[in-house]
């Protein structure tokens, strides 16, 4: 388990971080699909708000 965790951490470090502009470009390219039928409209709205809040630059 520890070896797997170390390999995962090494992989994360090798990938680096995406810039906010790179993230925005990828989000704009994503396919828009209908939510899972098990998700209520309230849950979908909460998820969408969390995504918006997370993508808003912090000052």
Give residue-wise pLDDT tens across range 43-54.
999 999 998 888
Six-digit token string for 3 = 């070896």
Q: What does the pLDDT read at residue 20?
A: 84
What total of structural domains would you count in the chain?
1
The model carries a pTM of: 0.50
Q: How far is CA 1 from the centre of its chain?
A: 25
pLDDT digits (tens, 9 = 90+) for 2-59: 999 999 999 999 998 888 888 889 888 999 899 999 999 999 999 999 988 887 766 6
For residue 22, give its domain range.
2-55
Q: Which two tokens stand for residue 21?
A: 């502009």
Task: Report helix angle 20-29 to 41-55, nearest 10.
Answer: 150
Buried b / exposed e across 31-52, counting CB within 10 Å, b at 16+?
Answer: eeeeeeeeeeeeeeeeeeeeee
């Amino acid at each position: 388990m520890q070896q797997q965790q170390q390999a995962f951490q090494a992989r994360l470090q090798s990938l680096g971080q995406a810039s906010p502009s790179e993230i925005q470009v990828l989000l704009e390219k994503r396919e828009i699909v209908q939510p899972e039928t098990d998700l209520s409209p309230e849950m979908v709205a909460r998820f969408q708000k969390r995504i918006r809040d997370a993508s808003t630059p912090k000052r």
